[in-house]
Each structure stands twice: as structure tokens, then as C-alpha cells.
Amino acid sequence: MELYWEEQFTVSVTIQDNTTVISANRAGLHSLAHHLLQLAEEPQGSHIHLDSYNALEDGSAELILEKAGE
């Protein structure tokens, strides 16, 4: 699955007091929404792994989006 990111997107993930916070600008939210729609069409167990090395802002916690059973 190839991920497309809109221009000038920003997405960060932090964990605060056992709460995960995903913060993104408009382009980042559009991109994440598109990724989720793509993931919905993949087989069970498919996943998207995001971190500060491949899309998230520096210092972000890792984020794994995984498709569970139907």
C-alpha cells in the first residue's frame, strides 16, 4: 500500500497521562483519512506504521494503525 501525503502536512502523536493525542493540520488530517480508507480495503492484519522517521513530526510517539476482523 502506497501512502500519499498532501503537501505541507504535519502530524504529531503524543502520549499524555495515558491518553494518545494525534495533532494534525488540515493536510495531515486529509492524508490520515485517506490512509484509513485505504487500510479499510486491505486484508485483516494489514497495518500502517508511522513514526518520526517516515512521516510524523520529530519527537512523536510511534503510531500503528491496524485492520482488525470484519
Say if 3 falls within a structural domain: no
Q: Would you state the pLDDT for residue 70?
A: 72
Number of structural domains the chain divides into = 1
- Tell whether the model's pLDDT for residue 62 goes beyond 90: yes
Q: What percent of the chain has pLDDT over 70?
A: 100
Q: Would you state the pLDDT for residue 57?
A: 97
- Give a three-class secondary structure readout of 7-70: CCCCEEEEEECCEEEEEECHHHHHHHHHHHHHHHCCCCCCEEEECCCCCCCCCCCCEEEECCCC
Say if 2 falls within a structural domain: no
Q: What percent of the chain has pLDDT over 90?
A: 94
Say if 4 falls within a structural domain: no
Say if 5 falls within a structural domain: no
| pLDDT (average), residues 35-39 | 97
Q: pTM score, two decimals?
A: 0.90
| pLDDT (average), residues 44-64 | 96
